[in-house]
Amino acid sequence: MPVLHNRINNNALRAQVQADNIARTTVSFYKYFTLNDPQQARDTLYSAFTALGVLGRIYLAREGINAQISVPTANLEALRATIYQFDPHLDGLRLNIALDDDGKSFWVLRMKVRERIVADGIDDPTFDASAVGEYLDAAAVNALAEDPDTLFVDMRNHYEYEVGHFENALEVPADTFREQLPKAVEMLAPHRDKNIVMYCTGGIRCEKASAWMRHNGFNKVYHIEGGIIEYARKAREQGLPVRFTGKNFVFDQRMGERISDEIIAHCHQCGARCDTHTNCANTGCHLLFIQCPACAAKYQGCCSERCRDALALPQEARHRAGHDTGERIFNKSRGALDTLRGGVAPRRR
């Protein structure tokens, strides 16, 4: 029986990918559809994707598939054919090709079966995730952006919104998608007569969010086809103004794709204009935060002096050598970043 999981050390795999001269392309895709046997689908796709040299992260559930991967560029069309032939629901599926990419975004293939491909916290048997809002292409997005009766709603996390978003878009203040959904309904209740345009990185969150808004009585609900990635690609191809400002955060080694030249975020340590995310070099902290080059040198890639000093400790002693760590360990929450910023000047838009 073929091996259906990785057996090689992650560090060795990362070094191997970095040293490899094979051109690779970063791709993301998703589809909501009924998958009767997610485990069997996982094992079949794992074998097929391994043979094509695919690396990345793929989640499968009874509600569908969600993938962020890279593939040798020479195998891109073979990958497309494999996906299209796997299930009739995937035939013709749009693949989002990364905008700012060197192909080194992943170094291992991880494929997992989950309860949901996006954790939404919805426990309502009458909810139909397929009853989504109307898709918008790039031209339609720009047209609605000019309409004063339109609200753009960002369905991403705070750290994604911070480095880039559509002009005048609303941020839904929550740390998780499951928290965002009820908050979005509450926030937008006074605006039921407006056009509601929901967006996210590649489309998977805003598509489900649009269905949830419709389920809660909103009628003029839209979502951007292919999310920010596809919008920016099509707008550039068609010579349209790009209404997204800043950087698009992505969940791989790149941590961001440059959409516009504007830098709208600031270093969380000194307040200098910067939109480069990093993880604290103290593995016992690993906090995701924004750090400018000067602070990266000063703190040796750490979020604080205490974490910097912890780098001199044995590995096993680092795990509680950060701040008053507690819930901040591996934390991407708003509260953890507020603690880090401390006296730093508030973020400017």
Q: What is the pLDDT of residues 186-225, one digit of tens each?
A: 999 999 999 999 999 888 899 999 999 999 999 999 999 9
Predicted local confidence at residue 29, as pLDDT: 94
Amino acid, single-letter form, for residue 12: A
Predicted local confidence at residue 202, as pLDDT: 87
200 is catalytic: yes
The domain defined by 10-113 folds into Alpha-Beta Plaits (3.30.70)
Query: Would the pLDDT of 92 be above 90?
Result: yes
d(CA 110, CA 136): 32
DSSP string, 246-294: EEE--SSTT--EE-SS----B-TTT--B---EEE-SSTTT--EEE--HH
Query: Would the pLDDT of 289 be above 60?
Result: yes
Question: Looking at 200, 267, 292, 302, which residue is catalytic?
Answer: 200
For 52-86, the pLDDT digits (tens) are 999 999 999 999 999 999 999 999 999 999 999 99
3-state secondary structure of 199: strand
* 92 CB burial (10 A radius; 0-12, 13-18, 19+): exposed
The mean per-residue pLDDT over the stretch 148-166 comes to 95
Strand partners, 97: 27
Give 101's contacts (C-beta < 8 A, 6+ positions apart).
Answer: 25, 26, 254, 257
Predicted local confidence at residue 313, as pLDDT: 78
Q: Which contiguous run of DSSP H or E holds residue 142?
A: helix 138-145
What residues does each domain of the chain span?
A: 10-113, 134-246, 277-341
Choose from 116-120, 133-137, 312-316 the range with maximum mean pLDDT.
133-137
d(CA 139, CA 143): 6
Choose from 120-124, 263-267, 303-307 the range with maximum mean pLDDT.
263-267
CATH class of this structure's domain 134-246: alpha beta
Query: Would the pLDDT of 150 be above 80?
Result: yes
- pTM of structure: 0.77
d(CA 186, CA 192): 11
d(CA 43, CA 319): 35
Predicted local confidence at residue 261, as pLDDT: 94
Quick one: DSSP state of residue 91?
T
Q: What is the residue-averaged pLDDT of the chain?
A: 86
d(CA 275, CA 164): 9
Give 236's contacts (C-beta < 8 A, 6+ positions apart).
Answer: 242
Predicted local confidence at residue 300, as pLDDT: 95
